[in-house]
Amino acid sequence: MHIVYISLIALFVCQPVWAKDTVDRNAVRSEFIQPVPYPSELSSDKVALGEELFHDVRLSGDQRISCASCHNLASGGVDGLPRSIGVGGAEGDTNAPTVFNSGLNYSQFWDGRALTLEEQVSGPITNAKEMASNWPDVISRLNSDPAYVEKFFTIYNDGINAVNVSDALATFERSLNTVNSRFDQFLRGSVHAISDDEKKGYELFKSYGCVSCHQGQNVGGNVFQKFGVMKDYFADRGGKTRADFGRFNVTGDELDKHSFKVPSLRLAVLTAPYFHDGSAKTLHEAIDVMAKYQLGRSMPDDDAELIIKFLTTLVGSYKGEALYE
Amino acid sequence: MNKLKHFPLIIITVLICWLAFLFHKSQSIDTELHGETVNSIQQLKHMDALLNQDVLEVRFQSQLNMDPIADHSERLLQLLTVINVKFDTSGMSSARQLVDMTRLFNEKIHLIEQFKSHNGRLRNSLRYLPEATDRLEDHVDHELSHDLYKLTEMILFQDISSDLLNMKKSLIQLEKIVLLMDSLKASGETKLAEEISNIVNHAQLVITEHATVSMLMQQLMELPTSDAVARLFEEYDREYGQEIEGAETYRIFLFVFMIVLFIYVVFLFRRQNLMSSTLAETVGDLEFQKYAMDQHTIVSICDGNGDIIYANKRFRDISQFSEEELLGKNHNILNSGFHPDSFYKAMWATISSGHVWHGDVFNHAKNGEGYWADTTIVPFLDDDGTPFKYIAIRTDITKMKNTKEALKREHEMLERVLASIPSILIGLNEDEEINLWNHAAESTFSIKRTQAVGKKLNELDIKWDWDDVDRGLVESRNTGLARLERFKFNHADGSDGFLGVTMSAIYAKRQYAGMLLLASDITEKIQMASQMQLSQKMEAIGELAAGVAHEVNTPLQYVGDNIRFLRDSFHDIHKLYAEYQKLKQLCLEQGLACEAVEQLKTTEEEADIDYLLEEIPVAIEQSLDGVGKAGGIVSAMKEFSHPGSKMKSLLDVNRAIENTLTVCRNEWKYIAEIETEFDENLPLVECLPEINQVFLNMIVNASHAIEDKLGEGSPERGLITISTSHTDAYIQIEISDSGKGIPENLQAKVFDPFFTTKDVGRGTGQGLSISHNIIVEQHGGTLTLFSEVGKGTRFTIRIPVLSEVAGEEV
């Protein structure tokens, strides 16, 4: 029965995407980057419940860590650490990606092992290095809170269970689109929404070829790419970990070795450090690494700066407030 | 019984289940789900085609970003899940095709991912090469520039054509450029060399990635996903078709079943109608009956708690309550307080246990007036046998009750009257059975009413002349009245009696309805009459006796005198004889006149002179004695039956008693011994001559009593003791006998007039009564008795010495 529910919900959720397809197909063809869509048709009850759960430490084993601990909404949806610290001070495997606009990604996690936001919820909860909990504990803790019980039963027929918790959290996460950035306004026709430098930055972003992978609504998040196309990044960096094998850990295909989901650059200016290993402390560093290993180009600093300027225009608003630091 | 009741329910349930089953089976094709499934499969096909299109668009750069292809990939995966779910739900077993198809699509998506990745790289490098080549144009010599352009051209062409020959040429060209780059590097143009190195790298990348991308695309194109979808659809359709057919079959069955059911329903309906009309008729009848009943009887209906839920008009009229006042109230508002609580408790107990209760109840109307109601309460039972409704039907019997009461009282009075009637009342009905037997009848015949009533007269154990009775009955029937005078019968104790019987026939509406016998026990009357006769006779005889005695006295006198003369004479003769004997003796001794002496002896022997000499004096004495006795009797009798004055005179009681004994000697002579103990100093008492009668009575009674005890002709003799004594105040005479005694219950009665236990003729029954009267009334004394049955009786007479009646004091 749950599968039916998920698929129906999935179908339902896909509706806007269906609509988008017919409407935007022509628009889509003309540009690499598309504006962030306004999150629509999300049940406000679920969003509110999801928000509450997102900030609830009871989802963790020691009841001190919530989703917001590593995906802090106040700081761009990340924690600013190369790797997050979980229960008992355990260091995670990879850098925490931003929760904002995560609904626009076509898979979750660096290796794409979760196809949907709902599937992603179980990951941190059950990961010993992250929240180090389990569903039975979480559910029992939530059940012992009458406020949750009432809210859950209001929205869902079957009360508190993993599916409904994931659904609520995912619904909330889908509401975290940062909309109406200056660049989006520019895309929508406000020619003066961005400055000339920023326009120049965008041109460079395109000419250098960044746009081959960082494209679409989320400026990334819709394609997997090998980290170290032109050169062997991991050989140069050293210290290979399992996480470094990326998509290969999921598919087992040789071709997928060191292949990672291309991250979104929408909030890049807010989510340092960068890359799955959090090795690039600054955006400039990241750009340099990208130029060297992915583009096989050398990029002068001025170009990098201009590109950074462009990247700042990508930052949108959440709940009416722009997310600038 | 419960099972039977539920039987139709079970049948209906089975029918419904069967119907539901058929219906379900015929509807088991969830057309909605089928539609959705087909739709999903179509969408899958569509999505597959879109993806193919996307791949080409991405590859050949008509699509700039990868959102669409990523989007379609996601949707395809979702569709796969949905279809899997739907197939699961509908229970379609096209599992193999589904699994195959799912696998193929998963593979496709995976390939697409890789394609996106590699294509990105390819595109990036392809875009860079012309640009880079352009930028270097000014910085390198013409030849190099030309070579670079050529390389770029070849690469680009390679990208489009995949011509093997071109590939070779490109590789060769690349070699050339590499050599040039090396030479530049050697010559110190590092930056330039680096630039060219970049170009070379990108060119190499293009070549490798192109191959990869081509391979991926080839694989993608070769994936028989659309076939798989088509096959799945085919299989699904086929299966669905089968199910449709199956459902169709069920539908036909269902249809047939419905037809049958319909016919049955129509049939039931008709039957129902029939029953309905019958029911309506019955209801109509019942309504009418109810209406009719309502006109006559008082009806009320209560619920299970006894609260009134219906009261008909007659009820309201008689109880004087209105409908509002009655409905909902408990029926105990009728209680008059006449009946005790136990009455109502018993009533409730009966009806609440499901039984009908009958009874007469005295109820109160609203104004407190009472009325009697002949009540029947019927409980209505539900299936468990528990009463849930009570209907009470009443008839006003107040008048009847009052009439009955009056009748009862009348009857009781009649009973009392009958009971107090001293006459015997026997009632016979038309069948000659006794229906009336009063108290007098009971005591006379000693037959209780219960034993008599209902029996025929001749069944009773009455000793009377039945012929006379029958004759009397017949006469009475014929003439209406019959009388039997002096009808002899036997008392229950065997004693004779007489009845005076009147028989009157009863006619009701000129039909013989029975007989009424009125009888009086005239035994006593007759006895009394005969006693009276006897007494009169006795009186007459008494008088006669006195006369006789008087007359006899005279001859008796001279008889006595003569016998005395004879005695004296004989005495003298005897003396003479003695002298003659002496002479005879002398002769004998002297032998004189022997013949004469012999003749004398002979004559003496013939005459038995010894005997004569002995017996003649005795005879004379006896005669004298006799005469003396006779004289005594006569004089006693004379004394006794002296008419006497009403004046008292002094009497020597002792002498009186002796006289009396003499007079009645015959009475006691053979029966008892007499013992007298006379007080020698007994004072004379003033008595009436009647006192002798008393003594006579006593003595006669005593001897009778002894005779009764000993039995007639018994050789034994009893004892009568007469003693006299005196005190200063009175003299006492006690007469005791050893007779049969008087039972205690009769001791008081003995002084009653006409009371006697003796046979008719033997006693008048007056003796003691008169004695009592004489002693007590006429002399102021007392007459008491002490008796023990079987032992004897003692009468005690006390006569005061000082008489109260005028007389001399002693």
Residue ranges of the alpha helices (H) in B392-459? 398-420, 439-445, 449-452
Q: Which residue of A has its CA nearest to B106?
A: A251
A147 in contact with chain B, both atoms CB, cutoff 8 A: no
Cβ contact B85–A4 (<8 Å):
yes
Cβ contact A213–B113 (<8 Å):
no
Q: What is the pLDDT of residue B26?
A: 67
3-state secondary structure of B729: coil
CB contact at 8 A, B600 and B587: no
The token duo for A259 is 């292949």
On the question of pLDDT at A12 being above 80, the answer is no
Mutate to test the interface with A, among B30, B121, B212 (most CBs of A within 10 A): B121
Segments of B439-495 assigned E as strands: 463-464, 481-490
| Residue A210 Cα, gap to closest chain B Cα (Å) | 8
Percent of chain B with pLDDT over 90: 7
Cβ contact A17–B78 (<8 Å):
no
B56 in contact with chain A, both atoms CB, cutoff 8 A: no
Greater confidence, B524 or A225?
Answer: A225
Cβ contact A209–B205 (<8 Å):
no
B chain contacts of residue A14, beta-carbon cutoff 8 Å:
74-75, 78
Residue A84 amino acid letter: S
Q: What is the pLDDT of residue B426?
A: 86
Signed CA dihedral, B758, B762, B766, B771: sign only: negative
| Residue B7 Cα, gap to closest chain A Cα (Å) | 40
Q: What is the pLDDT of residue B644?
A: 52
Cβ contact A14–B77 (<8 Å):
no
Cβ contact A295–B128 (<8 Å):
yes
Residue B685 amino acid letter: V
Give the span between the Cα atoms of A181 and A187, in whole angstroms. Answer: 10
| Residue A112 Cα, gap to closest chain B Cα (Å) | 11
Look at residues A215, A217, A171 and name the one whose alpha carbon lies nearest to residue A17: A217
The most distant pair of C-alpha atoms in chain A lies apart, rounded to whole Å, by 60
What does the radius of gyration of chain A's CA atoms come to, in whole angstroms?
A: 20
B chain contacts of residue A223, beta-carbon cutoff 8 Å:
66, 70, 113, 116-117, 120
Q: Which residue of B has its CA nearest to A217?
A: B67
A223 in contact with chain B, both atoms CB, cutoff 8 A: yes
Q: Hey, how many other C-beta atoms are within 10 angstroms of the C-beta on B444?
A: 22
Segments of B252-381 assigned E as strands: 298-303, 308-311, 357-364, 370-381
Q: What is the pLDDT of residue B177?
A: 80
What's the pLDDT band for B806 if we cut at 50, 70, 90?
very low
Average pLDDT over residues B587-605: 84
Enumerate residues 6+ apart whose C-beta is below 8 A from B46. none
Q: Which range in B107-111, B507-511, B512-516 is most confidently predicted, on average pLDDT?
A: B107-111
Mutate to test the interface with A, among B37, B65, B71, B88 (most CBs of A within 10 A): B65
On the question of pLDDT at A172 being above 90, the answer is yes
Q: What is the pLDDT of residue B415?
A: 81
A vs B, Cβ pairs < 8 A, gives 110
Looking at A27-36, B55-64, B343-352, B609-618, which range is the least confident one? A27-36
pTM of the model: 0.51
CA angle A295, A242, A219 (to 5 degrees): 40
Q: Which residue of B has its CA nearest to A256?
A: B114
Look at residues B646, B650, B660 and name the one whose alpha carbon lies nearest to residue B683: B650
For helices B190-222 and B142-161, what crossing angle results, to 10°? 10
Give the span between the Cα atoms of B361 and B377, in whole angstroms. Answer: 11
B chain contacts of residue A6, beta-carbon cutoff 8 Å:
81
Enumerate residues 6+ apart whose C-beta is below 8 A from B430. B511, B512, B513, B514
CB contact at 8 A, A207 and B131: yes
A253 in contact with chain B, both atoms CB, cutoff 8 A: yes
Percent of chain A with pLDDT over 70: 90
Question: What are phi and psi for residue B38, nearest 5 degrees?
Answer: -60, -45
B204 in contact with chain A, both atoms CB, cutoff 8 A: no
Query: Residues A32-83: pLDDT tens digits?
Result: 888 888 877 888 889 999 999 999 988 888 888 889 989 998 888 888 898 8
CA distance to A48, A184, B132, per residue, from A174 (Å) = 12, 18, 41
What's the complex ipTM?
Answer: 0.84
On the question of pLDDT at B531 being above 80, the answer is no
Q: Hey, how many other C-beta atoms are within 10 angstroms of the C-beta on A77?
A: 26
On the question of pLDDT at B630 being above 80, the answer is yes
A215 in contact with chain B, both atoms CB, cutoff 8 A: yes
Q: What is the pLDDT of residue B809?
A: 47
Look at residues A216, A232, A283, A219 and name the one whose alpha carbon lies nearest to residue A31: A216
B chain contacts of residue A229, beta-carbon cutoff 8 Å:
121, 205
Give the span between the Cα atoms of A76 and A312, in whole angstroms. Answer: 13
Give the span between the Cα atoms of A307 and A284, in whole angstroms. Answer: 9
Average pLDDT over residues A159-170: 90
A13 in contact with chain B, both atoms CB, cutoff 8 A: no
Percent of chain B with pLDDT over 70: 95
B562 in contact with chain A, both atoms CB, cutoff 8 A: no
Under DSSP, the state recorded for B271 is H
A17 in contact with chain B, both atoms CB, cutoff 8 A: yes
Q: Which helix (H) or strand (E) holds A280?
A: none
Query: Residues B155-212: pLDDT tens digits?
Result: 888 777 777 787 788 888 888 888 877 887 787 777 777 778 888 888 888 888 888 8
Q: What is the pLDDT of residue A23?
A: 40
| Residue A73 Cα, gap to closest chain B Cα (Å) | 26
Cβ contact A223–B116 (<8 Å):
yes
Query: Residues B215-264: pLDDT tens digits?
Result: 888 898 888 888 888 888 888 888 888 878 887 888 888 888 888 888 88
On the question of pLDDT at B577 being above 60, the answer is yes
Q: What is the pLDDT of residue B807?
A: 46
Query: Residues B274-297: pLDDT tens digits?
Result: 998 999 999 999 989 888 888 888
Cβ contact B201–A296 (<8 Å):
yes
Mutate to test the interface with B, among A1, A115, A223 (most CBs of B within 10 A): A223
Q: List the 288-317 stretch of A: residues with Cβ below 8 A of B.
A: 295-298
Give the span between the Cα atoms of B555 and A231, in whole angstroms. Answer: 211
Q: What is the pLDDT of residue A25?
A: 46
On the question of pLDDT at B698 being above 50, the answer is yes
| Residue A86 Cα, gap to closest chain B Cα (Å) | 31
Q: What is the pLDDT of residue A1?
A: 60
Q: Give long-range contacts, CB 8 A cutoff, 24+ apart: B705-712.
A: B705/B737, B705/B739, B705/B740, B705/B741, B705/B792, B705/B793, B706/B671, B706/B672, B706/B737, B706/B738, B706/B739, B706/B740, B707/B671, B707/B739, B708/B739, B708/B740, B709/B738, B709/B739, B709/B740, B709/B741, B709/B790, B710/B671
Average pLDDT over residues B384-394: 88
User: What is chain A's percent helix, strand, coil content, to nearest 5?
Assistant: 50, 5, 45
Starting at the edge strand found earlier in the chain, the sheet holding B387-396 runs B308-311, B298-303, B387-396, B370-381, B357-364
Query: Residues B479-498: pLDDT tens digits?
Result: 888 887 777 777 777 777 78
The token duo for A115 is 């196809």
Enumerate residues 6+ apart whose C-beta is below 8 A from B760. B496, B527, B530
CB contact at 8 A, B362 and B338: yes
Nearest CB neighbour to B121, from listed A30, A229, A247? A229
A232 in contact with chain B, both atoms CB, cutoff 8 A: no
Give the span between the Cα atoms of A248 and A240, in whole angstroms. Answer: 14
Cβ contact A28–B67 (<8 Å):
yes
3-state secondary structure of B801: coil
Greater confidence, A50 or B130?
Answer: A50
Query: Residues B553-570: pLDDT tens digits?
Result: 888 888 888 888 888 888
Mutate to test the interface with A, among B71, B80, B84 (most CBs of A within 10 A): B71
Question: What are phi and psi for residue A280, nearest 5 degrees?
Answer: -90, 115
Query: Residues A280-311: pLDDT tens digits?
Result: 999 999 999 999 898 888 889 999 999 999 99
What's the pLDDT band for A19 if we cut at 50, 70, 90?
very low
Q: What is the mean pLDDT of chain A?
A: 86
Query: Residues B638-657: pLDDT tens digits?
Result: 766 665 556 778 888 898 88
Start-to-end C-alpha separation, chain A: 45
CB contact at 8 A, B577 and B593: no
Give the span between the Cα atoms of B720 and B739, in whole angstroms. Answer: 9
Mutate to test the interface with B, among A20, A214, A222 (most CBs of B within 10 A): A222
B115 in contact with chain A, both atoms CB, cutoff 8 A: no
A11 in contact with chain B, both atoms CB, cutoff 8 A: yes
Q: Which residue of A has its CA nearest to B70?
A: A222
Mutate to test the interface with A, among B64, B88, B194 (most CBs of A within 10 A): B64
Which single residue is written with the structure tokens 């196309």?
A229
On the question of pLDDT at B140 being above 80, the answer is no
The token duo for B274 is 């029939």
The token duo for B218 is 């080839």
Query: Residues A257-279: pLDDT tens digits?
Result: 999 999 999 999 999 899 999 89
Query: Residues B84-124: pLDDT tens digits?
Result: 888 887 766 667 778 888 888 999 999 999 899 888 888 88
What's the pLDDT band for A21 if we cut at 50, 70, 90?
very low
